[in-house]
Amino acid sequence: MIRSKLRTLLLGAGSAAAVMLATALVPATASASPVPEARDAAGAAAGFWACTVPPGYTFTSTQQTLNCGDSGFRTYYFVQPPADGLWACTVGDGFTYSSTQNTLDCSTGGGFRTKYLLRTPKTGLWACTVPSGFTYTGTQSTLDCSTSGGFRTKYLLRAF
- Tens digit of each residue's pLDDT (9 = 90 or more) over 89-146: 999 899 999 999 999 999 988 889 999 999 999 999 999 999 999 999 999 999 999 9
**What is the pLDDT at residue 71?**
83
Average confidence (pLDDT) over 55-62: 96
Give me the pLDDT at residue 147, please. 87
- Indicate the residue type of 67: N
Rg (CA), the chain: 24
Bridge partners, residue 101, by sequence: 115
**Is 152:128 a contact under the CB 8 Å cutoff?**
yes
Q: How many residues are listed for the chain in this entry?
A: 160
pTM above the 0.85 mark?
no
Question: Confidence class of residue 2 from pLDDT cuts 50, 70 and 90?
Answer: low
Q: What are phi and psi of 59, to 5 degrees?
A: -130, 150
pLDDT of residue 40: 52
What Cα–Cα distance (Å) separates residue 75 from each residue in 15, 58, 82, 89, 130? 45, 14, 20, 14, 31
Dump the DSSP string for 56-105.
T-EEEEEEEESTTSSSS-EEEEEEE---TT-EESS--TT-EEEEEEEEST
Mean of pLDDT over the chain: 80
Q: Out of 25-34, 37-46, 101-110, which region has the weakest mean confidence (pLDDT)?
A: 25-34
Those residues with Cβ within 8 angstroms of residue 160's Cβ, 6 or more apart along the chain or in another chain: 133, 134, 135
